[in-house]
């Protein structure tokens, strides 16, 4: 689940988390620092040359010296231009590189999290953090830090030169500093809080947009466009209101700092002008002091601006740190046990489980069963009985709250989750189809396979006919979430993907629910051939598809209520017989009285 970041953690502590991303690029950091230092040095040289020109005066006898100083100023300007250009190049490139690394690490971490993580944070919000928040960090690295360091150098160098020019006037300037620093610190904290709130609101709008746009057909089918627009509009206005608070606070801070800073400088210059009149300093020294004062004032104003940007970046960093610091509850042990040669043997022992969001409600309650290698077992029961939960636990998306699960004799928590999942091939009820070609979607089951392997898998899944009829055959792009395909076509591609994976355990979750009768029969033949050499677990509401299973396990309210073959379960009555009668005879139970089991068996034989 998402780690709770300490909200009292200061800006330096949060931004310190970015330092490891700089370490691989020490050479670029050094080059950027050298260019930055050079630019600041050449900027500080300019007032010295101006002072010489002013003190020498503008007469013909000193024209040679004036020419030299002006030429020197042009040379300094050229050097400053080169240094600034190099600074921009190295710093911007470094910022892009580091933010790319942050995006990759955040995504790599998020995609490895268990489903529990995504129960507490929506996918759209995760995407907002990966994209929007890293953009703010990019601004920090590529611009704010560079400008900040440059202005720190100008501030320090400018103050040193001010002292060398006039210690008296410099002392007066330094008296102003505390008056300016205090509001920056106090109001900067508010800016950071508003920045964090604004980013949270933006993430909320992204999450809402992602949900509705990914289900746009459903939204339009139920004519909910107006409601969707209103919901997104309210979230967008909330984001604007939070941003407006940040902007207003930042504007007030900027106004206060600029007024205090330049009022103080004008006052000091006023005193300096009196000293020139009274011959206590030269006009050149005053000019030099004014230029350095302007440089210091500009640097200080830029640093105050940078402080608010730093607070905003700290808010974004905090949201990224929440993901990077999150620890998945499903992970490999320090020394995972190696799985033996694959047999496909599965064992559930007194397994109970409650979803984290519903801890008081048991999805499974004391479930125990064994599946032998090569056996085909069907899980049957009403919706919410716990059938899909069995699949989730077997894939170790969650750990049971009680009991144990073993695959080929090894307890799942003792093995690497990737090793466990590599032995499972899954066909979900709602298959994931990616915005890629048909061939790429099939090869998702085993990326190292060839396109010829994908074509053979498609043929086995009764999918080759419709694929070859597509405009570009196996190279046809299917669009986002497979929007160009029908539900049955998506399911057959998912089946082909599972066939290509060729894992020792096959998990079928209503795998033929979207197929027409002819395609279903063809796929059933393929499944029968595929299941001969592997363990198969089938979830099915259509009982005709599981009649030939070696064993049927009937679940109700998270418990096993019956177990046996189709004929035996029909003969003993109970939940399975009632479900079979409702599906195969179309009759309703009257006061709990069941139709004669022989009628059900005869009906199912005719259908199957």
DSSP string, 150-174: HHHHHHHHHHHHHHHH-HHHHHHHH
pLDDT score at 412: 92
Residue 398 has pLDDT above 70, yes or no: yes
For the segment 405-453, what is each residue's pLDDT rounded down to a tens digit?
999 999 999 999 889 988 998 888 778 888 888 898 898 888 888 889 8
Q: Is the dihedral of CA 24, 28, 31, 33 positive or negative?
A: negative
Question: CA neighbours within 13 Å on the CB side: how many for 208?
Answer: 19
Q: What is the DSSP letter of 347?
A: E
Write out the two tokens for 537.
């677990």
pLDDT at 79 over 60: yes
The whole-angstrom separation of Cα 83 and Cα 90 is: 11
What is the pLDDT averaged over residues 308-329?
73
Residue 426, C-beta contacts closer than 8 angstroms, at least 6 positions apart: 391, 395, 498, 507, 509
Q: What is the mean pLDDT of residues 577-590?
A: 64
Q: Are the C-beta atoms of residues 53 and 66 closer than 8 Å to each other?
A: yes
CA atoms within 13 A on the CB side of 296: 24
* Dist. CA 294–CA 304, nearest whole Å: 15
The bridge status of strand 346-353 relative to strand 402-407 is antiparallel
* Predicted local confidence at residue 259, as pLDDT: 80
The pLDDT confidence band at residue 278, using thresholds 50, 70 and 90, is confident
Distance, CA of 50 to CA of 285 (rounded, Å): 9
- Phi-psi category of residue 24: left, alpha or beta, with phi > 0 → left and psi -120 to 50 → alpha: alpha
Closest CA to 369 of 385, 393, 348: 348
Look at the block and give the residue holding tokens 């669009």. 479
Confidence of residue 570 (pLDDT cuts 50, 70, 90): confident
What's the CA gap between 264 and 176, in Å, rounded?
A: 6
Long-range contacts of 569-573 (CB under 8 A, 24+ apart): 570/597, 570/600, 570/601, 570/604, 571/597, 571/601, 573/597
Q: How far apart are CA 275 and CA 281, in angstroms?
A: 6
Q: Tell me if domain 11-324 and domain 346-607 are identical in fold.
A: no
CA-nearest of 364, 350, 251, 244 to 308 is 251
Query: Domain 346-607 belongs to what architecture?
Result: 3-Layer(aba) Sandwich (3.40)
The angle subtended at Cα 534 by Cα 530 and Cα 535, nearest 5°, is 120
Report pLDDT for 305: 66
Class of 11-324 in CATH: mainly alpha
Start-to-end C-alpha separation, the chain? 46
pLDDT tens per residue, range 143-194: 677 777 788 888 888 888 878 888 877 777 777 767 767 776 677 667 767 7
Q: pLDDT for 184-240, tens place per residue?
A: 667 766 776 777 677 778 777 877 777 777 666 667 766 778 888 888 888 888 888
Contact (CB, 8 A) for 385 and 556: yes
- pLDDT for position 529: 64
Q: Please name which of 558, 509, 508 lies closest in space to residue 528, comparing C-alpha atoms.
A: 508
**CB count in 10 Å sphere of residue 227:** 12
Whether the pLDDT of residue 7 is over 60: the answer is no
- Residue 368: which H helix or E strand, with range? strand 364-371
Using 50, 70 and 90 to split pLDDT, how confident is the model at 13? low
Q: Looking at residue 593, what is its pLDDT?
A: 40
pTM for the structure as a whole: 0.63
Which of 9-23, 327-341, 545-559 has the weakest average pLDDT? Answer: 9-23
CA distances from 196 to 193, 242, 314, 318, 594 (A): 5, 9, 8, 8, 62
Task: Find tokens 């040193």 and name the residue.
Answer: 160
Cα–Cα dist 336/228, whole Å: 47
* C-alpha torsion 380→384→388→389, nearest 10: -120
- Residues belonging to the chain: 608
Q: Which residue has the tokens 């009759």?
A: 587
- Mean per-residue pLDDT over the chain, rounded: 78
Question: For 86-112, b where at least 16 C-beta lie within 10 A, e where not — what string?
Answer: bbbebbbebbebbbebbbeebeebbee
Q: What integer pLDDT is reported at residue 189 of this predicted model?
A: 67
Contacts of 312 (CB under 8 A, 6+ apart): 136, 191, 192, 195, 246
pLDDT per residue over 20-78, tens digit each? 888 888 888 888 888 888 888 888 877 877 777 677 665 566 666 777 777 777 888 88
Cα–Cα distance measured from residue 377 to residue 371, given in angstroms and rounded to the nearest whole number: 7
Q: Which helix (H) or strand (E) holds 130?
A: none
């Amino acid at each position: 689940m998402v780690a709770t970041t300490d909200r009292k953690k200061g800006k330096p502590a949060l931004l310190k988390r970015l330092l490891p991303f700089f370490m691989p690029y020490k050479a670029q950091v050094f080059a950027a620092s050298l260019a930055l230092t050079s630019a600041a040095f050449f900027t500080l040289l300019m007032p010295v040359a101006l002072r010489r020109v002013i003190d020498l005066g503008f007469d013909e006898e000193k024209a040679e010296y004036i020419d030299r100083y002006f030429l020197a100023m042009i040379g300094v300007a050229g050097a400053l231009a080169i240094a600034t250009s190099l600074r921009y190049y190295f710093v911007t490139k470094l910022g892009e590189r580091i933010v790319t690394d942050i995006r990759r690490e955040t995504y790599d971490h998020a995609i490895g999290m268990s489903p529990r993580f995504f129960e507490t944070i929506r996918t759209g919000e995760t995407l907002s953090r990966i994209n929007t928040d890293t953009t703010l960090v990019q601004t920090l690295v590529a611009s704010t830090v560079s400008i900040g360091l440059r202005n720190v150098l100008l501030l320090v160098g400018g103050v040193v030169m001010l002292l060398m020019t006039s210690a008296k006037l410099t002392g007066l300037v330094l008296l102003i500093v505390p008056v300016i620093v205090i509001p920056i610190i106090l109001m900067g904290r508010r800016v950071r809080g508003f920045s964090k709130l604004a980013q949270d609101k933006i993430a909320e709008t992204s999450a809402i947009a992602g949900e509705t746009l990914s289900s746009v057909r459903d939204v339009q089918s139920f004519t909910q466009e107006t409601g969707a627009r209103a919901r997104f509009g309210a979230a967008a206005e909330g984001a604007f209101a939070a941003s407006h608070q940040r902007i207003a606070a930042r504007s007030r801070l900027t106004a206060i700092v600029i007024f205090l800073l330049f009022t103080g400088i004008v006052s000091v210059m006023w005193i300096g002008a009196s000293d020139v009149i009274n011959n206590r300093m030269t006009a050149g020294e005053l000019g030099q002091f004014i230029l350095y004062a302007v440089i210091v004032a500009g640097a200080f104003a830029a640093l105050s601006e940078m402080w608010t940007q730093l607070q905003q970046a700290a808010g974004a960093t905090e949201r990224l740190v929440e993901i990077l610091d999150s620890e998945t509850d499903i992970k490999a042990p320090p020394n995972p046990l190696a799985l033996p040669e694959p047999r496909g043997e599965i064992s559930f022992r007194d397994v109970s489980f409650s979803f984290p969001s519903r801890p008081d409600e048991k999805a499974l309650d004391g479930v125990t069963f064994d599946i032998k290698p090569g056996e085909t077992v069907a899980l049957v029961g009403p919706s919410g009985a716990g059938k899909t939960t069995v699949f989730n636990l077997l894939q170790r998306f969650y750990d049971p709250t009680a009991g144990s699960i073993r695959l080929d004799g090894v307890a799942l928590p003792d093995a690497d989750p990737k090793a466990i999942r590599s032995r499972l091939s899954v066909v979900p009820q709602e298959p994931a189809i990616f915005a890629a070609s048909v061939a790429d979607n099939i090869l998702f089951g085993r990326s190292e396979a060839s396109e010829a392997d994908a074509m053979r898998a498609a043929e086995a899944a009764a999918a080759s006919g419709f694929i070859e009829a597509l405009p570009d055959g196996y190279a046809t792009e299917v669009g986002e979430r497979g929007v160009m395909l029908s539900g049955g076509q998506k399911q057959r591609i998912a089946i082909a993907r599972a066939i290509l994976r060729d894992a020792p355990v096959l998990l079928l979750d209503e795998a033929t629910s979207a197929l027409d009768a002819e395609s279903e029969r063809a796929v059933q033949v393929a499944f029968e051939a595929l299941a001969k050499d592997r363990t198969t677990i089938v979830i099915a509401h259509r009982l005709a598809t599981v009649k030939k299973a070696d064993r049927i396990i009937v679940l109700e309210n998270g418990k096993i209520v019956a177990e046996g073959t189709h004929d035996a379960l029909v003969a003993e009555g109970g939940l399975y017989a009632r479900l079979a009668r409702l599906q195969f005879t179309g009759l309703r139970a009257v006061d709990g009285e069941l139709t004669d089991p022989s009628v059900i068996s005869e009906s199912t034989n005719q259908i199957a």
